[in-house]
Chains A and B, each alone.
Chain A
């Protein structure tokens, strides 16, 4: 009888009654064929595979991660709360050892949602993985987390949320930002001064095939994870690297995804993008599920799979090798980079513009972070959205040192009320979220 080698939990929430709009790629039909394939294969009858029910997350769960402007209710729908709840349900089951690993097949996705969220970016409003990670950091004994984002688009939302966090190793592999939304995720984007090198961005040239993905995995990602020693590994499992995806230009396949999953051994995988809903998703999801469960997936092959057409060009291979060398050098120098990033106690400033393609909003940010060797460092962000409001958001990190905790309240108290529509403070050590307006 078919039996999973690792007890594996699945949350399947296809949200068959939710879409961004009727012809948008992120619509009701997206997981229909995946559901058909998974059901026809009898996945939920396999011994050792459990189907779990998601719960709704609360505003407090969102507030551990995001500053939602104007508020949580305005920028989320029930679907977002259930989708994040699906990730949380898997994480709870893993932490309570009811399962060894799990996969949240949920929609809508979340990895483009940043810490400050004025609305939808890249089909995302709130960040499922970050909400899940902060939930387990609060409720269980978990500190060090590795998040490996294998969606074809740069996971800029998750990258932003963990930009200053030295206890989270965030790695994103994605199609080069010069050729694809959101246009970021270059090798030099390594994290804030207190967390340099704990963010690794690995852009891949269009035409990267299975060979290239596995090369990056084995030569950069797995060694970095091994050195980082995470308590838990999370995979943002986007499926748009597939050779049939309509939005991207890669040559990855179901067998490749399953191999990647088998080698990465994530404790928790969360579905992100992937819009080849008929030709790719049913096979890729099946491959990932079987690989997580430690079952044979050698016969999970797309009907139109043709290995000759999926060869990787030599110049692509060359480019990938060079990128891997650059990343490995950064990773090796991460401690040195942090030492020379600034003087502890000083404030460093960053200015940027963020475009919300889904909701057509332009946001300007001015960020000030306290240089700190003891913790991730408190920071404040002045954010102005057009259309939208102007707020000041202050974040005291989960493992903040005494100085940074004080600094956070100083920033909050000093902020002039009349200058902002709202001043918000995320006090992670006390699990508090306060606002004044």
Chain B
């Protein structure tokens, strides 16, 4: 059996799955001041009277790190960056303990200027005086040559408890994002470590010996051990859980749109042949631009509890949420009130809902029925507009080769999958407005927890081979190998594939769940003065996000037992 647990901002969903389907499910209100208690409550219910040996897998998704970032509950960290020529690194200052030092590596990974050890030791000394124990070290082009980062680590390893290095977070280029990503990892490290050690200990006390898997923003999992080096990968795993929960219902061979309609926001994601689209570089939210692998999910401020009002004679919905619907004692009318007024939804206090709708009707000068219809339709229209805008943005993304340009694959969804509380009430209207076949994901209120439970372990590896310099390297994996001029495309792919499998297994993947693909491949001839000097190969491979094989039939049984939901 498998346990999936998704702790969200307002409540946590937990499910127990067997090969027969959904065995147990529970919703627990989230206690943001004590997430550990929330998690334990979920586990206690799921594990009641279950022989512990039957549990083969546990996957947890939490808002722990997301909250820490939003509330700035960081541990203090020191940051050392080495940039060389280019944009002034002062622009990427993270906080007061950020120091730019000399030294330079160029785009081919050649050292152009050595590090100044005296300078670095002096900075470390100042950090020690401030009792800083966690350090981030980031070099420009360190993914081309990590020696400067390693040199700084070796120089300072006895002075700090933990040192995070830039070249470990991603094979992608982008120095500012590398700085931000290392800083996030270092900043949430302690809170992540303490929390999961507590969870692990209490599960061990219950006799659970299997490794815990943690959900990442890319919709894949990693084991607890791997997560300690990259705790920031757990941010925004919530939206990823929902997307993973919808995959089983997506059609193969065509594109689908996933709309997770919540109270405050709607999260939009795209599936191509059952595989979710990823952000090209990494999570980008507000001022945070990172190299954290993530599903492409766009969160937009329109949901069941969005603030409905009339401005200058026009109906406005969102983007804020001022409270629950009036039918549930909230302060202002919401789309949920319209659903209740229209008798589409049979919950809350219909009189309070009517009061809200009446006020809108009056301001618009129309009858309440028409006002409620207008709110209902406009909510659907706005959700669809946001989804279309996302698809447009994806389809107008620049490409860099003639082949890609002419191939020009454009996303064209043939299916809409709806998730979230209000989803069932909107389905018909969304289908009518969009003209796209729309389906509500079964057990949609816990689809997120099911998605977490069944997500496979994912990872990515980037290899750069340069036959002129005679080396192949994957700095993320601390891998370097000498190569000859005879090195071929096949060699490059084979090395990358080996590294990927090794990494996936180390992160807790099952050998039968290796859905491997090449996501980037480029080859260049290096020519100087009209004569070939060598070749550059760039290969990037991933284990793509998806569901574990052993349980792929489970989702189709998830509706058999609708009465088992237990609320606390």
Measured between beta carbons, the chain B residues less than 8 angstroms from A33 are: 107-108
- A300 near B85 with CB under 8 A, answer yes
Residue of B nearest to A15 (CB): B402
A interface size (C-beta, 8 A): 49
- A303 near B112 with CB under 8 A, answer yes
- B529 near A290 with CB under 8 A, answer no
- B107 near A17 with CB under 8 A, answer no
The stretch of A23-31, A112-120, A259-267 that contacts the partner chain: A23-31
- B104 near A303 with CB under 8 A, answer yes
Q: With A and B bound together, what is the CA distance between A78 and B407 in angstroms?
A: 12
Q: With A and B bound together, what is the CA distance between A15 and B144 in angstroms?
A: 22
- For window 291-337 of B, CB contacts with A under 8 Å fall at none
- B287 near A1 with CB under 8 A, answer yes
Residue of A nearest to B113 (CB): A303
Q: With A and B bound together, what is the CA distance between A300 and B88 in angstroms?
A: 9
Q: With A and B bound together, what is the CA distance between A22 and B106 in angstroms?
A: 25
Measured between beta carbons, the chain B residues less than 8 angstroms from A296 are: 87-88
Q: Please tell me if A376 contacts chain B, counting CB pairs below 8 Å.
A: no
- B525 near A17 with CB under 8 A, answer no
- A78 near B405 with CB under 8 A, answer yes
- A40 near B141 with CB under 8 A, answer yes
- B402 near A303 with CB under 8 A, answer no
Q: With A and B bound together, what is the CA distance between A302 and B173 in angstroms?
A: 19
With contact pairs A29-B525, A51-B398, A53-B398 given, residues A40 and B174 touching in the complex (Cβ less than 8 Å): yes
Q: Which of B85, B396, B401, B403 contacts A53 (CB 8 A)?
A: B396
- A29 near B527 with CB under 8 A, answer yes
- B396 near A27 with CB under 8 A, answer no
CB distance from A167 to the nearest CB of B (A): 33
- B173 near A39 with CB under 8 A, answer yes
CB distance from A257 to the nearest CB of B (A): 14
Q: Please tell me if B84 contacts chain A, counting CB pairs below 8 Å.
A: yes
Measured between beta carbons, the chain B residues less than 8 angstroms from A27 are: 525, 527
The stretch of B203-211, B492-500, B530-538 that contacts the partner chain: B530-538
Residue of A nearest to B141 (CB): A40
Q: Which of A14, A23, A45 contacts B289 (CB 8 A)?
A: A45
- B402 near A41 with CB under 8 A, answer no
Q: Which of A2, A17, A39, A45 contacts B401 (CB 8 A)?
A: A17
Measured between beta carbons, the chain B residues less than 8 angstroms from A77 are: 402
Looking at chain A's contact residues, the main secondary structure is loop
With contact pairs A1-B287, A51-B398, A82-B405 given, residues A299 and B522 touching in the complex (Cβ less than 8 Å): no
Q: Please tell me if A35 contacts chain B, counting CB pairs below 8 Å.
A: yes
Measured between beta carbons, the chain A residues less than 8 angstroms from B113 are: 303
Residue of B nearest to A82 (CB): B405
Measured between beta carbons, the chain A residues less than 8 angstroms from B531 are: 23
Q: Which of A15, A40, A51 contacts B140 (CB 8 A)?
A: A40
Measured between beta carbons, the chain A residues less than 8 angstroms from B532 are: 22-23
**1/0 contact trace for B153-176 toward A, CB 8 Å?**
000000000000000000001111
**1/0 contact trace for A42-58 toward B, CB 8 Å?**
10010000011110000
Q: Please tell me if A37 contacts chain B, counting CB pairs below 8 Å.
A: yes
Q: Please tell me if B524 contacts chain A, counting CB pairs below 8 Å.
A: yes
**1/0 contact trace for B228-272 toward A, CB 8 Å?**
000000000000000000000000000000000000000000000
Q: With A and B bound together, what is the CA distance between A82 and B406 in angstroms?
A: 10
- A15 near B104 with CB under 8 A, answer no
Among B175, B403, B526, B527: residue with most chain A CB under 10 A = B527
**1/0 contact trace for B82-118 toward A, CB 8 Å?**
0011111001000000000000101110001100000
- B85 near A301 with CB under 8 A, answer yes
Q: With A and B bound together, what is the CA distance between A52 and B396 in angstroms?
A: 8
Residue of B nearest to A302 (CB): B85
Q: With A and B bound together, what is the CA distance between A52 and B284 in angstroms?
A: 19
A-B interface pairs (CB < 8 A), number: 118
Measured between beta carbons, the chain B residues less than 8 angstroms from A246 are: 529
Q: With A and B bound together, what is the CA distance between A300 and B140 in angstroms?
A: 14
Q: Please tell me if A193 contacts chain B, counting CB pairs below 8 Å.
A: no
Residue of A nearest to B177 (CB): A42
- B176 near A45 with CB under 8 A, answer yes
Measured between beta carbons, the chain B residues less than 8 angstroms from A189 are: none
Q: With A and B bound together, what is the CA distance between A79 and B399 in angstroms?
A: 13
**1/0 contact trace for A276-320 toward B, CB 8 Å?**
001000110010001000011011111100000000000000000
With contact pairs A40-B174, A290-B87 given, residues A282 and B524 touching in the complex (Cβ less than 8 Å): no
Q: With A and B bound together, what is the CA distance between A27 and B87 in angstroms?
A: 28
Measured between beta carbons, the chain B residues less than 8 angstroms from A41 are: 86-87, 175-176
Residue of A nearest to B405 (CB): A82
- A40 near B107 with CB under 8 A, answer yes
Q: Please tell me if A325 contacts chain B, counting CB pairs below 8 Å.
A: no
Q: With A and B bound together, what is the CA distance between A378 and B177 in angstroms?
A: 56
Among B91, B104, B289, B530: residue with most chain A CB under 10 A = B91
Q: Which of A24, A28, A283, A298 contacts B524 (CB 8 A)?
A: A28
CB distance from B29 to the nearest CB of A (A): 37
Measured between beta carbons, the chain B residues less than 8 angstroms from A16 are: 400-401, 522, 524
Q: Please tell me if A32 contacts chain B, counting CB pairs below 8 Å.
A: yes
Q: Please tell me if B481 contacts chain A, counting CB pairs below 8 Å.
A: no
Q: With A and B bound together, what is the CA distance between A15 and B530 in angstroms?
A: 19
Residue of A nearest to B289 (CB): A45
Q: Please tell me if A231 contacts chain B, counting CB pairs below 8 Å.
A: no
Q: With A and B bound together, what is the CA distance between A37 and B406 in angstroms?
A: 26
- A78 near B402 with CB under 8 A, answer yes
Q: Please tell me if B397 contacts chain A, counting CB pairs below 8 Å.
A: yes
CB distance from B532 to the nearest CB of A (A): 6
Residue of A nearest to B104 (CB): A303
Q: With A and B bound together, what is the CA distance between A24 and B174 in angstroms?
A: 30
**1/0 contact trace for B104-146 toward A, CB 8 Å?**
1011100011000000000000000000000000001100100
Q: With A and B bound together, what is the CA distance between A301 and B87 in angstroms?
A: 10
Given contacts A35-B400, A40-B175, A295-B87, 10 further A-B contacts (CB under 8 A): A11-B398, A23-B530, A24-B530, A25-B527, A33-B108, A36-B141, A37-B86, A40-B86, A82-B405, A299-B88
List, sorted by A's number, 13 A–B pairs whose CB atoms are closer than 8 Å: A16-B524, A17-B402, A29-B526, A33-B107, A33-B108, A36-B141, A37-B86, A40-B140, A54-B398, A82-B402, A246-B529, A298-B88, A300-B86
Q: Chain A interface (Cβ within 8 Å of chain B)? A: 1-2, 11-18, 22-25, 27-29, 32-33, 35-37, 39-42, 45, 51-54, 77-79, 82, 246, 278, 282-283, 286, 290, 295-296, 298-303
